[in-house]
Amino acid sequence: MITFTPLSGAARSDSPSPLSYLLQVDDVRMLLDCGSPDWAPENDASTDGENESEEPRHSWSDYCETLRRIAPTIDLVLLSHGDLSHSGLYPYAYSRWGLKAPAYSTLPVQATGKIAAMEDVEGIRDEQDIGDEPIQEAEHQELQSGEDAGVHKESSLNPTTKTGKFLATLVEVQDAFEYLNTLRYSQPMHLQGKCQGITITPFNAGHTLGGTIWKIRSPTSGTIIYAVHMNHMKERHLDGTVLMKNASGGIFEPLARPDLLITDADRANVITSRRKDRDAALIDTITATLSSRSSLLLPCDSSTRILELLVLLDQHWSYSRLRYPICLLARTGRDMLAFVRSMMEWLGGTISKEDVGVEATAKQRNKRKRDDDDDNEALGALALRFKHLEFFPNPQALLQTYSSKDPKLILAVPASLSHGPSRNLFVDFAVVPDNVVLLTGRGEEGSLGRALFNKWNDRQRVDDKWDKGKIGSNIMLDGGFRMKMRSKVPLQGAELEAYLQQEKEKKDKEVAQQAALARSQRMLEADEDESDSDSDTDEEEEVRRTLEGDMEVDGDGISRRRKRDDTDATDWALDADEGLTKQFLSFDIYLKGNVSRATSFFKTAGGQTQRFRMFPYVEKKRRVDEYGETIDVGMWLRKGMVLEEEAESDEIKDYKKKLQEEEEAKKIKEPPSKFVTMDVDVQLACRLLFVDMEGLNDGRAVKTIVPQINPRKMILVSASESASNALIESCSNIRAMTKDIYSPAVGESVQIGQQTNTFSISISEDLLTSLRMSRFEDNEIGYVRGRVVAHATSTIPTLESVSSLPPTTDRTVVSDPSKSRILGSRPKVALPQSTMIGELKLTALKQRLAAVNIPAELIGEGVLICGGIRQTDNMDTSEETVAVRKKAKGSVELEGNVSELYYKVRREIYNLHAMVAAS
């Protein structure tokens, strides 16, 4: 049985992102995608300072709480795309919520997902105090030990944060994505453990680099296709989805006719404009704005769709020989391009593997290779050089290089303008009338990007709106706009002095604690040295000095010493001849000097009185292994490091010291700072234009592809109510399309199929030899009739023939059948039960009929016309045809006159099935 529950991004929802779904196949619980919401929406009230004692309530609170609750129970995680809406929350769930199940993705999804998450984490943490504490190293080791032991420990994790925002640290992001298992396209993965029997296979989905359509094959539930955010069109850096065959225009055979299709319908009622028109509008706007000595701000994402924009811009800059700078404001920009250059085999589309822009001859390419000193040339990625692109980590670095009056194209992250460089630059751009803000995506609901898109779309004519298939015109923004600006500012004046005083007190306290720990360590080491039984010579010398006598070392003495060594827990004992002996003492208060020589203030006639430590008392036991003592691995490592340092020459030591000093000098010590939130009134005066560059299927493509896939059942996700109704209505108008289409809301579970139980059974030898098997494809099928018998010698029940069972004592008297029979009639004989197993494919039947010289033609709606014009003996021609109809529930109808053709077609249909019969 299949159970599907949307955690976020459900159908008939106002917010189709982020995407996260729980799919349960029998007892296996799978998490399909783990997206993160926009953590800094415009209506965010978590930093207002009011009701700080109460936990802030956000639109994503229910989703995060549900995911936190079910994360330890997940058995498998599948990530389809590397953007934040599909994989942004995975690092936090992995590190803090116990999502330790095996996770799979393609290699580009792993790389781009890590880059997007790191950019988002750094951008928000530099502006806001998230209020969570990262997992300490001890807690991390405890969790790892609990994970290895098969125990989930949640008590040490803080499930909620002060701000209600769940952002991982950079270390947690790297660890989480390194845990992912990567697959290639069309590489089947047979799972083990609890998921044994399930096979997952990734296929190309388009839209993003490494975007995946997941095929999940279960032996009990059939084939499940999870295909969200696809693009069938070839782009500059990507090929279209593998779902559509480019040559024949049909559906990719391994993905056709699944038992369940899970797909999105967000753009089911959208008509996208032509790619040629979109590119022309984008390029013309950029060229006209730069030529007028103005600048453009293009908000973009950090790892996925930005590649298409960079390739397009680089081609235009190279072709038009423009000299204006292209500035990318992203901390991870260089890392992103380094990853992409190392994954050239995943790229496709119209991009050349040799060069971009003006077609160059071999001589020119060789010259560029010689003249280019860039280290990235070693990767061989000439197609992704982007020689006109410059990288900047923040807006301040951009202003240091280029003046605000210089014309330039700025690509800033994130695309939603909710935080980071794009939001900071928008404040300055919005007040300049000739500047242009160019949107390439609608943005997430509640973000500044979506608010700007709504402004642009509302001011377009009805026929020019973004979902009508045409390119709209730019608009002039006017009016005021209030924005929340969050930043980290250095402390000054009294705040700085108070902070320094607090840090000084904290440092003094740490120094005192370290001194106390060092003193305690010295006490323990002193006691260990005094109670160490291995130093026999030192102990004998101490005893002689203490008792002012000599100790005869003989067999008796050795036996006493061995007795004392065996009783390691004894602190002191009395010797019959010598009195109180030193080697029996174990103390725990540290006293400087030689204890055995220390004297008391009071004198006695017999001489000096010994001084003993008496309080507090802690019993110490030496830890020993099977060889007599424990080996301190750390001590040997420290000694090895000391030996290596001693073996180094003075030149090497000086060189290492110099490198260390240079690294410390490069590190910029961050001054004490605080987080500040300000309300800024922005007077909008710039121009605004939206060009759809999201790279997704529109309504026409969705309504064409889904009926060709022809699933038996379908679930719609990530769509508004109008889009869901549009796709359902389109599918209902197709006769052969399934009517089992579900569009569950968030938290609503959809159950498909029935719960099946499997059992192991053994077939007896007599029954196995009497079976008549029929071959069907690669299997042999037979009809079995018997009785299950449990034997005491075996734990597996046995299926035995009814005739081989011993007769029962209770028999009913059967009357003579001859007395009830009509005169002249034959006796009744039970006819054998026959069953046809298999599914008829009209294309396969057409091929078999062609092999026996019977023409056949598909006329649509599941009908195959067989036969044609036949010539008789009288030289007359007549048309003899047989129609084969395939009904929705698997039944087949054969319609035609009784003729030789009819029986030939019927025989071929029987040959495509397995005929199973039993008497």
Quote the DSSP letter at residue 384.
G
> Which residues of the chain fall short of a pLDDT of 70?
44-56, 132-162, 245-249, 352-383, 524-623, 665-669, 754-758, 776-778, 803-826, 829-834, 869-878, 888-890, 917-919
Helix, strand, coil content of the chain in percent (nearest 5): 35, 20, 45
Cα–Cα distance measured from residue 817 to residue 209, given in angstroms and rounded to the nearest whole number? 77
DSSP string, 617-673: ---------TTSS---HHHHHHHHHHHHHHHS-HHHHHHHHHHHHHHHHHS-PPPPE
**Strand pairing of 741-742 and 714-717?**
parallel
Q: pLDDT at position 292, please? A: 94
Give the pLDDT of residue 918: 57
Residue position matching structure tokens 């059942």: 713
Instruction: Report the pLDDT value the prediction gives residue 661, as an integer from 0 to 100.
Output: 78
Distance CA 588, CA 513 (A): 20
Looking at residue 889, its pLDDT comes to 64
Burial class (CB in 10 A: 0-12, 13-18, 19+), 690: buried
Measured at the CA of 473, the angle between CA 471 and CA 474, to 5 degrees, comes to 130
pLDDT at position 312? 93
Tokens, residue 22: 């729980």
Look-up of token digits 């943490």: 125
Cα(70)–Cα(596) distance, integer angstroms: 65
Distance (Å, whole) CA 423 – CA 427: 7
Quickly count: other Cβ atoms within 10 Å of residue 171's Cβ. Answer: 13
Exposed/middle/buried for 726, CB within 10 Å: 0-12, 13-18, 19+? buried
- Which run of H or E residues covers position 121? helix 107-125
Q: How far apart are CA 541 and CA 564, in angstroms?
A: 17
Distance between CA atoms of residues 768 and 790, nearest Å: 17
pLDDT for 832 equals: 59
| Contact predicate 694/282, CB 8 Å | no
Set out the domains of the chain in order of their start, with CATH numbers.
Answer: 2-39+57-271+698-752 (3.60.15.10), 275-362+374-490+680-690 (3.40.50.10890), 570-623 (no CATH), 835-918 (3.30.310)
The residue ranges of DSSP E strands in 793-890, in sequence order, are: 798-801, 833-837, 856-860, 863-871, 877-886
Task: Find the angle CA(219)-CA(223)-CA(226) to the nearest 5 degrees.
Answer: 135
pLDDT of res. 892? 84
Amino acid of residue 352: S
Placement of tokens 């001489």 in the chain:
607
Q: How far apart are CA 839 and CA 816, in angstroms?
A: 45
How much is the pLDDT for 542? 46
pTM of this structure:
0.71
**Cα–Cα distance between 67 and 49 in angstroms, integer?**
28
- The token pair that represents 293 in the structure block: 């000595």
Contacts of 902 (CB under 8 A, 6+ apart): 882, 894, 896
Residue 223: partners with Cβ closer than 8 Å, 6 or more residues away = 215, 216, 217, 258, 259, 260
- Neighbouring-strand partners of residue 262: 226, 715
Per-residue confidence (pLDDT) for residue 6, from 0 to 100: 96
Q: Give CA 268 to chain center in angstroms.
A: 26
SS (H, E, C) 19-32: CEEEEEECCEEEEE
pLDDT at 751: 92
Residue 252 DSSP label: -
**Which residues pair with residue 858 across a beta bridge?**
864
CB-count burial class (<10 Å; 0-12, 13-18, 19+) for 852: exposed
Per-residue confidence (pLDDT) for residue 540, from 0 to 100:
45
